[in-house]
Structure 1
Amino acid sequence: MRIQLVLVVILVTKLASSATSKKPKGVVGRCGLDDEGKAGLIASPNFPHANYPPDSVCNYTVTVAENSVIKFEFLYMDMEDGPTQKLSGCYADYVVITEDDNEESTMVGNQRFCGYDTPFNPVLTKGNKAYIWFRSDDTIEKEGFVIRWKAVQAPRETFACDFESRNGYCSGWRQLEPRSTIRWKVNRGQTRSSRRHWVTGPWYDHTKNNIGGSYVFAEATGMRQGDVTTLISPYFSMMKTERYCLSFWYHMYGSGIGTFAIYEVQTDGAQDPRFPLRGINIFLEAGEKGKSWQEGKLTLNRRAVPMRFIFEATRGNSYKGDIAIDDITITEDECQEPK
């Protein structure tokens, strides 16, 4: 009887210490806060003395100087459910960060945050104001979260993107609204549709080819046939040489795969009639392409003005239609055939 009791105590202790990192000292949580300045902390209600309440609806805002952006770091996290990194979506309790006063708008980091054993990378806003939304359901309350925010200089936009630098797209890349009905999601490992059996999406990313590497994918589960997701690049100047090579890797495995297309656009509004909002189609693939990552290379001519590129996935006829992309670059000179 004594042995059984000791085992129970050990297991409970292990569970209680499973949250990411140790509790920061001197932090007291509250439900709701309007903060401004250069740096600060946000913590869930009742932290650190008790679990957050059920059915919490807490809204926070952070504002920094106009020439700065906001960096968010997740110092402590112990919440119900799991994030996209755990093949879930924080459907019970979660934190969402947006730059509009609307919880349903584009999420900073492109995901909800929750769980207890997922170390999140820092995420950055594009502007100087952010809205933080904390929600909990009516079951399973935990210790909560602590987020540190800080005003920082906006990072330099970069075209080359391997989706490894932080939880979100590379600096300057963004979801194109309002054209997108679904989103490119940052992911590691298999997609949610392949939890039990590999039916769609990649096994790993292309960059690292392991569970630690990230890529983005357009999830077909829960979406309708014909739904579209679009990712637009920052501007890139193609005025230095006569030829450029746009290189990328894409993954189209599954019996329900739709289409993957790339468009070249001059601006968001596209004043030049040769480059409408949708842009000029420069690449198109449809249907299943196997379980391996496919390399795409496009030779582009010199342009008189900076250009952007839209990467667009269209949902096919079933949930077995996840489309993924990774490792996007542009180099000077025309493309060379793989050796």
Structure 2
Amino acid sequence: VVGTDGFCTAETEVSILVNPKPVLSITPGSSLICAGDSTLLDLSITIPSGGALLPSVVYTEDLESWSFGNPNGTASYNGWDNSNNTTTPDWTVDNNGTGSGGTGPDFDHTLPAGPNNGGRYVYLETSGPAAGNFDELTSPAIDLSTLGTAEVSFWYHMFGGTMGTLELEVSSDGTTWNSVFSISGQQQTSDLDPWLEATADISAYAGGNVFLRFTGTTGGSFQSDMAIDDISIAGLPPATVSWSPAATVSSPTSEDTYVSPTATELYTVTVTTPAGCVDSASILISVLPVPLAPTTTGFTVCGAGFATVQAVPQGSGSIQWYDTPTLDNLLFTGTVFSTSVNGDTTFYAVENNGACNSPAVAAAVTAIPATPVMVSIDQQFLCGATTPVTLTATSTEPGYSYSWTSTTGGGLIQTTGASVQAIPTQSATYTVMGFYLDPGNNLCQTTETIQVFVNALPAITASASPSTICDGSTSQLNVDVSLIAAPLPVWVSVSLATDAFPGEITWELRDGGTVVLNGGPYGSSSTTFIDSVQVLDGTSLDFQIFDSFGDGGGTWSVSAGGSTIANGGPAYGPGQTVTGIIVPAPPATVTYLWTPSTNLSSDTIQNPVFTGSATTSYSVLVTSPAGCTSTDNVTVTVLPVPSAPIASDTSRCGPGIIDLTATGDPNLVWLDGVPGNVIGT
């Protein structure tokens, strides 16, 4: 500015320092919420660089108080530590050079430049270790609670022809680390070259604690002695934050906060920087009304079947059905919801207006136990695919009607009625559904299943070798057998010897979820009980015994084919459970029976020898391990041995033709004395 009085002038200067205003950005969790809900407002504050306010230094370490040697976390090193790495190289405190030629600094950073000064620094001693080895130098926790921004600064010297890598990492807990600076290779060309400064923004750690970790990694030789010195952290105080209207803000002075408006609301945040510069930003949070809760109607179902629940909306929204009050799994959308249930069930209905759900209202389904249905079959284990079976359903409820279905190959001839017939072509499962109307006009229904097992007949072929013999000779009979491998039926028995109070005892033998045998209670005095059922080998059974008074005693066992496969007792308190009882396979025995048995070496083996004087036809019955049978026939033809012929000797003089004469069987063969050399017939 210049002032003048017309003759004299005067001049002076004034500086105006302009501090930047903060740059604000608000990110909502959702800008459209339902009444009663809340949403997160995430505020981002960026303060551009420049301005009159200088950062405050909150931490500095010049290493001048450190002892010579390797930092070990003690007070001698102000808490810095490299003892976590027990192998070379090592961070080492030194001055006046590193002891190796052609690498490292010759002087400290902060003291006057030149050789042989006394300032201290820490360097990585790389004489000896292989390339790629490293060492870590870790700081104690550094308090940044007074800062809103933070920057770390340090000086480094990396002179050496095979220089490695220097890295700085930071952490908030000393466990999880993030790299903020890394540099590799030679950065100075002489041990007398000036030190270089490195900086890194660590504002993400402002407001809490931070740990620093320097990692030095060796290069290809001893000429990779890197050094660091004069570490400091500086920053600015945090900006102040004020949200309005504050009444529905969870934390009005925090950058990130939850808001819970009851109606559509414009939220404004005002931020003041440490230099006193102010700026504001706003965001509109729209609030939608929550629909009123619908009214619901429950349902009563008898047994397992379909239930229908209903809900009436109180507004124009749609009804949504869920299986939990927390609305985790949407089942159906609509006022009437029908689904199968198996026991008491509760569904939950809400009215949804496109964005908001009403309060959930329960619709209960009450299941009345249906009278059980028992199902039986006259033959459960069949041989061949042509055997008819009769399936029968019974119940103490006389009003039941029955409907039957089967898996593939079940061959049901009828599908309704208490008793139906089937010709199964393969093993199959039959399901009977019984249903009736109870006195309250509720449809009661229940299902029960039973299996039939169809085993293949043995494929057999009977033969005789030779099939035609002369009287007095023998023939080898044989039957070839082909079996299709399949699980075999095994009788499984449960034996029980109770204590003196059998009226407290019940038990079950289960195949998966199906009870195949059960028993109890047994009256008022000790008893011995046994029951059996036929199952397939390889079946995994579970046995469970209960005592209602909790002091069960006695012994029990499960047997298969006469051998015990599980047992328990003599004391089992409230009960005992044994799972995974595997039914063993019976001996895979094939039996044979030849009829008639005359003239045979044995009538119960696969290949008897025939010795007889008359033609005989035999039938062989083969029984497979599953008890299935097949028969085949074979005939051995026996020829009589002819009587010896009577021949007359004759003679003649000289060569010529003679007549030979014999009497006996008309089919005579003449030989010349050489076996097999026929000369006439």
TM-score (norm 1): 0.46
Q: Higher helix fraction: Structure 1 or Structure 2? A: 1
Greater relative contact order (CA < 8 Å, ≥ 6 in sequence): 1
The structure with more radius of gyration: 2
